[in-house]
Every structure is written in C-alpha cells, then in structure tokens.
Amino acid sequence: MQLNSIKPAEGAKRARRRVGRGIGSGFGKTAGRGHKGQKSRAGGYHKVGFEGGQMPLQRRLPKRGFKSASLKFNAEITLADLERLGAAEVDMLALKQAGLVRELAKVVKVIKTGELTKAVKLTGIGATAGAKAAIEAAGGSLA
C-alpha cells in the first residue's frame, strides 16, 4: 500500500449539490432559497435568538437562580455507603478508589442516612452532627 494509492470507501464521498444551475436540476433560479427576504440574500442572516428586533425570549424572561462553581469539588457519602465499604480506616483516597466520590472531590462529608454497625476510623473527612454521633456509637472515630 502506498500513500498515493489509498482511497475512501466506495460511497463514502458524495458530490455536493450544485444549486442554481438551471430548471432541469430542480434547484435552479432561486437555488432552494425561496423568494426575497433576508434568508435569500448573500451574506444575509442573523444571530441565534434574534427575533427581528423584538426583545428576544431569553431577555424577556427574568433571571433566576445561581449554581456555585465550587459545588463540583464537594461530595457527600452516607452511613450506608460506609457500611457497604467495610473498611476499618477510610480516607479520601479509599473513597475515590471505591468510586463513592468523584475524582475532582476535595471536601467529603458523611451524612446520617442508613445504619452503621462497624467501627470506622475516618481521616480527613467531615461529618454532620447526627452522622458523627452514629459513627461514635458504633465504636468509630473522626480525625
């Protein structure tokens, strides 16, 4: 095989439609653009969302809400997740390897959802007041 002999697969390349080449082509005269108007002119078009000068929809509606960019660095796990994990010592790395928190996570907090029966030692992980009480009741600790 030579570089000058390779060709695309049969039928992979299609000739582009040549418009404005007479009545017989089916796309003669106006070349499929209809009659008059902004869309029929060369170089004539408008930006996305333009409504002919009328106040566009995205500007007529009120602004609402806010999504913090730092939320993607926060994660939470439940007591049930810790129970399923079954490790005696849990840190950020262990949670990431188990797939319980995203790789981007920098701050992890345990929330009180589910039950915890095993003693778990948490390192570098926060907990809500209820979760902390449940962890300590099961014989675990937070560092």
What CATH number is associated with residue 135? 3.100.10.10
Residue 113 lies in a domain: yes
Residue 6 lies in a domain: no
Total domain count, the chain = 1
Segment 99-116, tens digit of pLDDT: 999 999 999 999 999 999
Q: Strands (DSSP E) along the chain, which ranges?
A: 74-78, 89-90, 107-111, 121-122, 126-127, 141-142
Residue 60 sits at φ, ψ, to 5 deg, of -75, -30
Half-sphere exposure of 4 (CA within 13 A, CB side): 0
Is residue 53 left, alpha or beta, with left meaning phi > 0 and alpha meaning psi from -120 to 50? left
Residue 114 lies in a domain: yes
Parent domain of 122: 69-142
Residue 129 lies in a domain: yes
Residue 89 lies in a domain: yes
Tokens (6 digits) for 141: 């600790």
- The answer, as to whether pTM is greater than 0.85, is no
- Tell me the C-alpha to C-alpha distance, in Å, between residue 135 and each of 80, 100, 105: 11, 18, 22
Residue 84 lies in a domain: yes
Residue 3 lies in a domain: no
Segment 33-78, tens digit of pLDDT: 999 999 999 998 889 999 999 999 999 999 999 999 999 999 999 9
Using CB atoms within 10 Å of the CB of residue 19, give its burial: 0 to 12 exposed, 13 to 18 middle, 19+ buried: middle
Residue 99 lies in a domain: yes
Q: How much is the pLDDT for 114?
A: 92
